[in-house]
Amino acid sequence: MHYLDYNEKKSHGTQDFPLEFYHVDQEHPRYEMPFHWHRELEIIHILRGRFTAYLNEEIYAARAGDFLFINQGTVHGGTPDNCVYECIVFDPDPLLGQVAACRRQLRLLLEGDSLIRAHFSADDLPFRNAALALFDAARSEAPGHELNTAGALFSLFGVLFSHPEYREEGRAPVLYAKRIRLLKPVLEHIEQNYMRPLTLADLAKITGMSPRYFCRFFRTFIHRTPIDYLNYYRVEQACRFLSSPMTVTEAAYLCGFNDSSYFVKIFKKYKGITPRQYQKSDQPR
């Protein structure tokens, strides 16, 4: 399951039913959620532990029972803490937009004129009950589960638009939209080139900013410095490589570390254990 990626190119679900359910626990090599975005909507349900979500410039602390609603195009990432969570990623337009009476609300949502509230606690009962029904239907593999899932989606959006769970946005402010457009190519560049030498100056050049100003700009959204995030992303990729038959030195090289000793130091900083210890803990028991 490698759905947690920048500007996702993959499809979720099928062409006929563009909705997919994911379950993520601590054993998964992509347990951490690197920053990414997609045109689909996403709902995250925290099953256990805590999850710190970063959505554009906002931070949300979610705990067991809470839900996070990711609006279209939102740059988002997350840090789980002893957490198990599940996600539904879906394109509401083909699923709900074929019903003429629903198109106006969906157009407001998909064109950025309104935004659903991002964080719903376990005490938000109307949303919680509708969302739990949606996850139950999406999780099922029984015949007819698509009908139940589509029905649950209609019910959920009925709750969202009949309660004050969204706000009218108008078009996003020009300056804010420009900042998002500047950030996304930087994240894509890290994704595509993390295995090569990258400097702060290289990343700043993408935005046309000075390294000093770029560092402040990047931290506003990602809540890490650019180099800190680059190393974090490299370590996450290394975990994927270390889950396969590969030496620590090979994994280090593939993730942009030319010095295996430095790789071990950085890996331990983010994971609390050495790469070799991670490999041993990842072996089937």
Domain boundaries, the chain: 19-168, 174-282
Nearest to 161, CA basis, from 88, 86, 69, 73: 69
pLDDT tens digits, one per residue of 160-190: 888 766 655 544 555 566 778 889 999 999 9
Mean pLDDT over residues 113-137, rounded? 91
The C-alpha atoms of residue 93 and residue 237 are separated, in whole angstroms, by: 33
Compare 248 and 244 and report the one with higher pLDDT. 248
pLDDT at residue number 218: 94
pLDDT > 90: percent of the chain: 60
Using pLDDT thresholds of 50, 70 and 90, give the confidence band for residue 111. Answer: low
Q: Is 158 exposed, middle or buried (0-12, 13-18, 19+ CB in 10 A)?
A: middle
Domain covering 19-168, topology:
Jelly Rolls (2.60.120)
CATH of 174-282, one of 3.10.20.90, 3.30.750.24, 1.10.10.60, 3.30.200.20: 1.10.10.60
Residue 193 has pLDDT above 60, yes or no: yes
Tell whether the model's pLDDT for residue 3 goes beyond 50.
no
| pLDDT tier at 29, thresholds 50, 70, 90 | low
Element (H, E) at 155: helix 145-162
pTM assigned to the model:
0.79
- Rounded average pLDDT over 238-244: 90
Distance (Å, whole) CA 71 – CA 76: 10
Rg, the chain, Cα only: 20
